Structure 1
Amino acid sequence: MLTIGDTFPSFKLTAVKGGAEGLKLDSAFTEISNATDAGKWKLVFFWPKDFTFVCPTEIVAFAKLAGDFADRDTVVYGVSTDSEFVHLNWRLHHDDLRNLSIPMLADIKRELSTACGVLSKTEGVALRATFLVDPDGIVRFASVNDLSVGRNPAEVLRVLDALQSDELCPCNWNKGEEFLRPAA
């Protein structure tokens, strides 16, 4: 799996757009690459499969914080190994995903999942992996959960705040709190 300091791989994937555009059959799809949103931080999170139980809870939770991430100059990309057509069908038929504000990227060839080292060897789907990538394309945060355990998107936001502070941040630090200061 990619780790801190690694360069996030190049990619070019078809995605279902976030927002109302992602629900219109004639304009639902777009291409997103590592060059899209150049100069911004990127939160790239993977989920195993569409039409499952844990996945929509995470996707919706990340989307609810998309505005907070945007306030920190960070775009949110969700990725699974399902096709863009499956993503669109899921959005159209799942009440919680219908108004989703973030794009859903289709890694059907499993190239990005493989390049990131997050393709499950036993299941052939992406693990629940999360990456924060800085504007230079360097991985600054990486985590992965078991397929059956959802993530905490608020924790990812907290880590982003800490990374963007360029300060020493103690355990459980939150934006606005004191930083650690080495003794003089």
Structure 2
Amino acid sequence: MSRYIDSQLKPFNAKAYQNGEFIDISDKDVLGKWSVFFFYPADFTFVCPTELSDLADHYDVFKQLGVEVYSVSTDTHFTHKAWHDSSEAIGTIQYPMLGDPTGTLTRNFGVMIEEEGIADRGTFVVDPEGRVQIVEITAGGIGRDANELLRKIKAAQYIAANPGEVCPAKWKEGAETLTPSLDLIGKI
């Protein structure tokens, strides 16, 4: 994706492991709902299981917001199953774990580390029309926080439902928003 924000989701087909089954996921399955694509370097590593189990701990909240979570690495769906079966933390995951061994999806989102064949830590929130609304990419040693991601998703959903309003820094659900106007310039 040459320009992340408001970029259209590119076509893809992937195999995933979810709840004891292998399933097919495509771009068509994503349209019509909010989605999180949560890229991470590799299964059986160190920071990755802490992030993925944090998402699992908050999965019910994502679902309440109408958001599906898709974790993605360049491992296969078979490797995801093996990790799910062998790790107590990963064993709690109920969301789809997409395998991307060809790197197609990872390259579509621009987070492939080509020389290593693995993904950067990239988080992308895609709206129901298939447009990217939130992007976060961190260095390999920096884990992400599901609570902060949820806050951002709530803000994105609020803005989508309330055109003309914006959410200021540290905005939380129910807090005051701003309506940009000439009268507001220099008054914040």
Normalising by structure 2, we get a TM-score of 0.89
| Amino acid across the alignment from 1:77 | Y
Give me the CA root mean square deviation: 1.4
Task: Give the CA deviation at 1:37.
Answer: 4.5
Q: Secondary structure at the match of 1:52?
A: coil
Cα distance change, pair 38–8 in 1 and its aligned pair in 2 (3 A) = closer
What aligned pairs does 1:103-118 form with structure 2 within 5 A after superposition? 103-118=96-111
Q: Secondary structure at the match of 2:134?
A: strand
Question: Which residue number in structure 1 is paired with residue 162 of structure 2?
Answer: none
| Amino acid across the alignment from 1:96 | A
What aligned pairs does 1:17-166 form with structure 2 within 5 A after superposition? 17=18, 21-22=19-20, 28-166=21-159
Identity %: 38
Larger Rg: 2
Structure 2, unpaired ranges of 5+: 160-164
Structure 1, unpaired ranges of 5+: 23-27
Alignment of 1:9 onto 2:10: yes
Task: Give the CA deviation at 1:123.
Answer: 2.1
Task: Give the CA deviation at 1:119.
Answer: 0.2
Whole-angstrom distance in 2 between the partners of 1:49 and 1:114? 15
Task: Give the CA deviation at 1:113.
Answer: 0.5
The 8 Å contact of residues 30 and 130 in structure 2, kept in 1 or not, is answered as: no
Normalising by structure 1, we get a TM-score of 0.90
Task: Give the CA deviation at 1:115.
Answer: 1.3
Whole-angstrom distance in 2 between the partners of 1:37 and 1:13? 12
Task: Give the CA deviation at 1:134.
Answer: 0.4
Q: Secondary structure at the match of 1:137?
A: coil
Give CA deviations for 1:118-147 in whole Å, capped at 9, x if unaligned. Answer: 001332201100000000000001111111
Whole-angstrom distance in 2 between the partners of 1:99 and 1:169? 33
Whole-angstrom distance in 1 between the partners of 2:59 and 2:30? 14
Q: List structure 1 segments (4+ residues) > 4 angstroms apart after TM superposition.
A: none
Q: Secondary structure at the match of 2:72?
A: strand
